[in-house]
């Protein structure tokens, strides 16, 4: 099977926002790399190179336009390179190595060995659903889980993507865990990733969620949908339970916190590289 590699450059915040949107719009895989001589720093003026992989037959301009609409930014100029199957697999594997996402927690693709035998390891390969742990919005949630999860909590991962949040919650000792997404591919990927990691999840479409509330509700989506989902997510959080929200630019955090303040003691929990984590306890 042939593939297309779509490449463009943007400032870091827009690049990360559009990378999320590309996955939502149908890209198979998206990677980011700094154009700086020192990738560890993001100096003023640094640009990020975004490479999106999609199946041959996809119209690149339509994909970019759809993603730009989701991200609410102008479509960038881009280039397109055809790839054969073996080139796509090799390039994808080269782009994704073990990622340390918290003090004890590593996300490790299947073609790598765990770098630390004492670590909590989640086996996760890049696939057709969003969430490999490389994105800062995902890492913010995972860091919060490692610090705050006590064990035994009833957890809902709303908009589960790859299921990474639900799987990590299971690895950290959560009790009953439910993962849901409107995308059937995300549900299939989540179920497979949970099985690969020995984690038991309830994986269901949103309309099939059983009645009840949760001790912890997680949602890593985008600011606009999160604001719209406040009544639904509030109804799923027990009194005294917590909500943790991500996929939010720092410039959007105040609006998200304000929307959730009607039912939660919502504050900005963390911020890094232009992205924010919002959450709090249900009143």
pLDDT digits (tens, 9 = 90+) for 104-150: 888 887 777 777 778 888 887 655 444 555 678 888 999 999 999 99
Check whether residue 162 and residue 273 sit in a common domain: yes
Identify the pLDDT of residue 125: 67
Identify the pLDDT of residue 43: 52
Identify the pLDDT of residue 42: 45
Identify the pLDDT of residue 128: 42
List the chain residues with pLDDT less than 70: 1, 34-45, 84-97, 125-134
Domain-embedded: residue 119:
no
CATH code for the domain of 263:
3.40.50.150
Of 75, 91, 107, the residue at which a domain comes to its end is 91
Check whether residue 84 and residue 153 sit in a common domain: no
Domain-embedded: residue 137:
no
Give the CB-side neighbour count of residue 213, counting CA atoms within 13 A: 14
Domain-embedded: residue 184:
yes
Can you tell me the distance from the alpha carbon of 178 to that of 260, in angstroms, rounded to the nearest whole number? 22
Domain-embedded: residue 231:
yes
Nearest of 149, 173, 179 to residue 161 by alpha carbon: 179
Domain count of the chain? 2
User: How far, CA to CA in Å, does 138 sit from each of 4, 92, 240?
Assistant: 26, 19, 24
Residue 250 DSSP symbol: H
Check whether residue 168 and residue 271 sit in a common domain: yes
Identify the pLDDT of residue 41: 44
Check whether residue 69 and residue 179 sit in a common domain: no
Nearest of 27, 218, 254 to residue 140 by alpha carbon: 218
Identify the pLDDT of residue 132: 54
Check whether residue 173 and residue 243 sit in a common domain: yes
Can you tell me the distance from the alpha carbon of 64 to that of 18, in angstroms, rounded to the nearest whole number? 9
Can you tell me the distance from the alpha carbon of 152 to that of 147, in angstroms, rounded to the nearest whole number? 15
Of 91, 121, 138, the residue at which a domain comes to its end is 91
Domain-embedded: residue 40:
yes
Check whether residue 80 and residue 157 sit in a common domain: no
- Summarised one tens digit per residue, pLDDT across range 40-76 is 444 556 788 898 888 888 999 999 999 999 999 999 9
Identify the pLDDT of residue 20: 83
Domain-embedded: residue 251:
yes
Structural domain containing residue 158: 149-281
Identify the pLDDT of residue 92: 52
């Amino acid at each position: 099977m042939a593939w297309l590699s779509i490449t463009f450059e943007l400032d870091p915040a827009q690049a990360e926002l559009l990378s999320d949107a590309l996955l939502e719009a149908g890209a198979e895989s998206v990677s980011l790399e700094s154009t700086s001589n020192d990738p560890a720093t993001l100096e003023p003026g640094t640009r990020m190179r975004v490479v999106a992989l999609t199946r041959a037959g996809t119209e690149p301009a339509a994909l970019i336009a759809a993603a730009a609409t989701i991200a609410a930014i102008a479509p960038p100029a881009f280039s397109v390179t055809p790839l054969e199957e073996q080139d796509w697999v090799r390039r994808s594997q080269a782009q994704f190595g073990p990622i340390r996402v918290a003090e004890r927690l590593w996300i490790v693709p299947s073609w790598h060995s765990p770098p630390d035998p004492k670590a909590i390891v989640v086996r996760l390969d890049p696939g057709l659903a969003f969430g490999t742990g490389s994105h800062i919005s995902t890492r913010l949630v995972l860091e919060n889980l490692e610090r705050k999860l006590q064990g035994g909590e009833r957890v809902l991962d709303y908009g589960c993507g790859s299921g990474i949040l639900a799987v990590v919650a299971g690895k950290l000792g959560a009790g009953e865990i439910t993962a849901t997404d409107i995308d059937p591919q995300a549900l299939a990927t989540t179920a497979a990733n949970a099985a690969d990691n020995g984690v038991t999840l309830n994986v269901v479409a949103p309309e099939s969620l059983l009645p009840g509330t949760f001790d912890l509700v997680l949602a890593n989506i985008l600011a606009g949908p999160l604001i719209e989902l406040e009544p639904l997510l509030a109804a799923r959080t027990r009194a005294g339970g917590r909500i943790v929200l991500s996929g939010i630019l720092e410039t959007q955090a105040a609006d998200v916190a304000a929307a959730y303040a009607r039912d939660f003691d919502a504050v900005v929990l963390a911020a890094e590289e232009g992205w924010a984590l919002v959450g709090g306890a249900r009143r």
